[in-house]
Amino acid sequence: MLADVTTDLVLAVDVGGGTTKGEITDADGNVLCADTVETPYGEAAFEAIETLGLRLLDELTPDLRDRVARAAVILPGLVDPDRAIALFAANLGWRNVKVGSRFTDRWGLPVLIDHDVTVAGWAEWRYGAGRGHDDVCVLIIGTGISGTLSVGGRLVRASAGQSGVAQAGEYGHIPVRYRDGLPCPCGNVGCVETVASGPAIARAYAARTGREISGADVVFAALDTDPEAHAVVDDAVDALAAGLLGVVHASCPELIVLGGGLARAGTVLTSALQARLTTLLRVAPVPRIALGEFGIRAGLIGAAQLARTGSLR
């Protein structure tokens, strides 16, 4: 475990399938400089990360540059943080990329590597909507669905097994529509993601109405006037609740925090999920459903805190 660098500056980089965001912040969370670039396909993404970090560091005056004590880079897909390997990211086309010390060598400071959703969920639990609670499930809902679980004040993480590193928190790949579900890219049928992710909601609405739309936000905006939108969202909430039932019964979280792009739907989503879980749960206590505090910035905030504290604790 690395020592805290609570009084120094840190560099945080959040790599997404479309864009890569970076910023340098101080101990109070003030952003000194920030930038966003498109994420290239394949291993070119890692060169783009290096360049982005250098550009941000070069924006600082020499005295501030010397105060940047550590950095953290969070990556999508499957990640082995202990060996600094980007194992697999289907939408970015990389597999078993040995990150190693390349960022450290290029930036001249220690760099931690970790998984993007794990870090974003940890940030919401420790510093955001879940702070002060020991048993929290964070659900990040966007293009996909995944998240984190803390039990007894500890973050649940999978360990390396014979088949490699597993990624805990893949809630989106819990099958909930066994008989009549849609095929999922994971190879299963009827996973939560095929019903409740942003693209799935938009596809379902288009299939019901024959109208192509730009995204799930359009569906949520039409809830008050469009019965088809209401039916699609009800179906998505039902799938989310069904996927969470096993998690709730197994670990009894006191709080479920919703983050990611779809959480912009706000209380429409939290209220509906709260009502559905209240109807379904009989043995386990019904957790409270809350919106995340950090929104789409959860990853960057988490990466900065990871760099600052030296571990997810």
pLDDT digits (tens, 9 = 90+) for 238-272: 999 999 999 999 999 999 999 988 888 899 999 99
In a domain, 125, yes or no: no
140 and 62 in a single domain? The answer is no
| Residue 164: how many other CB atoms lie within 10 Å | 12
In a domain, 174, yes or no: yes
84 and 38 in a single domain? The answer is yes
Percent of the residues in the chain that have a pLDDT greater than 90, as a whole number: 81
Task: Please provide the average confidence, as pLDDT, over all residues in the chain.
Answer: 92
Locate all alpha helices (DSSP H) within 255-297, ordered by sequence: 267-280
55 and 146 in a single domain? The answer is no
143 and 16 in a single domain? The answer is no
Whether residue 2 has pLDDT greater than 70? no
Q: State the Cα–Cα distance between residues 177 and 199, nearest whole angstrom.
A: 17
* DSSP character at residue 212: -
3-state percent breakdown (helix, strand, coil) of the chain, nearest 5 = 40, 25, 35
In a domain, 235, yes or no: yes
In a domain, 169, yes or no: yes
Q: State the Cα–Cα distance between residues 245 and 52, nearest whole angstrom.
A: 41
220 and 261 in a single domain? The answer is yes
Whether residue 275 has pLDDT greater than 90? yes
In a domain, 56, yes or no: yes
Do the Cβ atoms of 52 and 37 come closer than 8 Å? yes
Whether residue 84 has pLDDT greater than 60? yes
275 and 304 in a single domain? The answer is no
SS3 219: helix
302 and 287 in a single domain? The answer is no
Whether residue 5 has pLDDT greater than 80? no
In a domain, 138, yes or no: yes
140 and 256 in a single domain? The answer is yes
Q: What value does the CA radius of gyration of the chain take, rounded to a whole number of Å?
A: 20
Lowest-confidence pick of 76-90, 95-109, 236-250: 76-90
Lowest-confidence pick of 66-75, 182-191, 201-210, 282-291: 182-191
244 and 276 in a single domain? The answer is yes
Supply 156's token pair: 């649940």
How many domains does one find in the chain? Answer: 2
Q: What is the CATH number of the domain that holds 81?
A: 3.30.420.40
Identify which has the larger pLDDT, 146 or 91: 146
Locate all alpha helices (DSSP H) within the chain, ordered by sequence: 44-59, 62-65, 102-107, 116-126, 193-196, 198-209, 216-221, 227-251, 267-280, 298-309
Work out the pLDDT band at 30, boundaries 50, 70, 90: very high
- Tell me the per-residue pLDDT of 146-197, one tens digit each, with 9 for 90 and over: 999 999 999 998 875 444 566 788 999 999 998 899 999 888 999 999 999 9
* DSSP character at residue 178: T
Q: Which domain holds residue 304?
A: 9-120+297-309
138 and 218 in a single domain? The answer is yes
Cα 135 versus chain centre, distance: 18
Q: What is the residue type of 46?
A: F
305 and 288 in a single domain? The answer is no
Report the greatest alpha carbon distance in the chain. Answer: 63
SS3 153: coil
217 and 178 in a single domain? The answer is yes
Q: State the Cα–Cα distance between residues 74 and 139, nearest whole angstrom.
A: 17
In a domain, 4, yes or no: no
Supply 69's token pair: 């004590």
In a domain, 2, yes or no: no
